[in-house]
């Protein structure tokens, strides 16, 4: 883990980096599932993603970033649900995603999230964090969290609190 780690609430000045991480991850992880070129490389662009989603006050207020001079990842939390957790693909496998998920579990008592069942990399990551840990005590916090990974099918998926639908044409806001 980085010594100068700083997890903080996102600010307007962070939105281009947040949207860049989001768009890049979606192209890498969801294009192979949905095969929707028009959406992935046409509609899904950084500036529209900022204007249509991330810039909304109610969304921006729920976003936290890992910033050590470079914004490496971000998460959106709504209540106890992790709506989004994205690490820049070039900066993965350095502990920053784990740091951010640990932060939201501790600060917000996060206990569930949604993942496309075909997004096996994300599910494997979540299983390596507290979301996948099992405690021997029945009904423990770890049991509750590990039960919180909810998978959804690629053709008809919906994240209720985030208002994001993954349908035949990709992710829809």
Tell me the pLDDT tens digit for each residue of 13-58: 999 999 999 999 999 988 888 888 999 999 899 999 999 999 999 9
Phi-psi region of 115 (alpha: psi -120 to 50; beta: other; left: phi over 0): beta
**Phi and psi at residue 94, to the nearest 5°:** -125, 10
Rounded to two decimals, the pTM is 0.77
Instruction: Take residue 42 and report the two structure tokens written for it.
Output: 């046409």
CB distance 21 to 85 below 8 Å:
no
CA distance linking residue 162 with residue 62, whole number of Å: 11
What would you report as the CA-atom Rg of the chain, rounded to the nearest whole angstrom? Answer: 16
CA atoms within 13 A on the CB side of 114: 20
Find tokens 């349908």 and name the residue: 167
Residue with the bigger pLDDT between 138 and 45: it is 45
Give the model confidence (pLDDT) of 126-136 as tens digits: 888 766 544 33
Query: Does the pLDDT at position 104 exceed 80?
Result: yes
Between 17-26, 43-52, 106-115, 138-147, the lowest mean confidence (pLDDT) is in 138-147
Spatial CA neighbour of 128 closest among 167, 99, 91, 157: 99
Is residue 88 very low, low, confident or very high in pLDDT (cuts 50, 70, 90)?
A: very high
Mean pLDDT of the chain: 78
């Amino acid at each position: 883990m980085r010594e100068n780690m700083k997890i903080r609430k996102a600010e307007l000045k962070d939105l281009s980096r947040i949207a860049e991480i989001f768009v890049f991850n979606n192209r890498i992880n969801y294009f192979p599932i949905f095969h929707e070129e028009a959406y992935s490389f046409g509609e899904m662009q950084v500036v529209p993603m900022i204007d249509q989603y991330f810039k909304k006050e109610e969304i921006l207020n729920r976003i936290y970033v890992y910033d050590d001079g470079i914004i490496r990842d971000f998460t959106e939390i709504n209540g106890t649900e992790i709506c989004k957790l994205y690490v820049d693909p070039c900066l993965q496998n350095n502990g920053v995603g784990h740091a951010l998920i640990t932060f939201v579990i501790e600060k917000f008592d996060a206990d569930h999230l949604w993942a496309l069942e075909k997004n096996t990399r994300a599910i494997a990551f979540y299983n390596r964090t507290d979301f996948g840990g099992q405690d021997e005590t029945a009904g423990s916090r770890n049991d509750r969290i590990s039960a919180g990974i909810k998978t959804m099918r690629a053709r008809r998926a919906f994240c209720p609190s985030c208002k994001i639908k993954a349908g035949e044409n990709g992710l829809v806001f």
